[in-house]
Amino acid sequence: MDGQSTRIAVDEAQDDDRIDAALAVLRPRFAARAAGYDRSGEIAFDNLAELREAGLLALALPRAHGGRAIGLRRISTIVADVARGDPSTALILAMQYLQSGSVGRSAAWDDAVKAELFASIRDEGALVNALRVEPELGT
């Protein structure tokens, strides 16, 4: 990191100005690395680490679990902003938000398991996704 803090405290995460300021710092960093990741086909783990450090991975978590339960409109603007820097990182972030929100609304998940998952996302930057998103394609 170049000394510019991008950290968003979860209790302040609804503050769009703070989110936008963090994205303004991260976007050019992601853009500078994007071509290299496109060539190598590697996952941009450093981009994901910076999203975690900024507090952006946990924004879609339910408020009761330390998130901000941000809505779809704000999610879409955040993902679009990240995509201007690195579309692959934005895709992972979109999946994170969609799955976090889905689990939060699901009655199929045990509450204790939800709490453990959300704590892992909030505290450790864990990523979550669906195991079978396109079964007809074998995924």
d(CA 107, CA 60) in angstroms, rounded, equals 17
Which domains, ranges and CATH numbers included, belong to the chain? 10-137 (1.10.540.10)
pLDDT at 24 over 80: yes
Q: What tens digit of pLDDT does each residue of 88-126 get?
A: 999 999 999 999 988 988 999 999 999 999 999 999 999
d(CA 94, CA 100) in angstroms, rounded, equals 10
Within 10 angstroms of residue 52's Cβ, the number of other Cβ atoms is 18
> Whole-prediction pTM value?
0.83
pLDDT at 84 over 70: yes
d(CA 101, CA 98) in angstroms, rounded, equals 5
